[in-house]
Structure 1
Amino acid sequence: MPSSCQEIRQELIECMLKSNCVLVKRNTVAECFKSENADDVPSECQSIRKSYAECRRGMIDPRKRFRGNATQ
């Protein structure tokens, strides 16, 4: 995995491991993001997940491959 997305991925993991969905309800991270449990995920973790998805998408998009994942 490209190192540019690795930091965001690690941040997402740490955020989810601190959430009530994982700690209190004992769900897995994948279960927490499913539609019935999506309300239990903090908004901070949701925004990190969106950033991670954009980073991964940027690695595939040929227009961004030359420019990098830098935000404009």
Structure 2
Amino acid sequence: MAKSCKGLATELVKCLSESDCVKVENRSIRDCAGEKSPSVSSECVGLRETYFNCKRGQVDMRARIRGNKGY
């Protein structure tokens, strides 16, 4: 994993592990990250979108030439 997205991934895992989706519903972090559940906070949803955009920027050759724009 590139260094530019590693911090986002860590924050996302930490946020999801503290959410009701994991704590109350006893679901895995992967399950909670993959869908839009009401038990996942809007902060985690925002981190998820930012992380996915960061990863997409690494794959998209046009974005790789321009850079990740601070993600």
19-28 or 7-16: bigger deviation: 19-28
Q: Which runs of 5+ in 1 are unaligned?
A: none
Q: What TM-score, normalized by structure 1, do the two folds share?
A: 0.86
Taking only the aligned residue pairs, the percentage that are identical comes to 37
Q: Which residue of 2 aligns with 1:9?
A: 9
Structure whose residues are more often helix by fraction: 1
Q: Which runs of 5+ in 2 are unaligned?
A: none
Q: How far did 1:34 drift?
A: 4.8
Query: CA RMSD, aligned part only?
Result: 1.6
Q: How far did 1:40 drift?
A: 1.2
Q: Which residue of 2 aligns with 1:69?
A: 68
Q: What TM-score, normalized by structure 2, do the two folds share?
A: 0.87
Aligned residues: 70
Deviant stretches of 4+, over 4 Å:
none
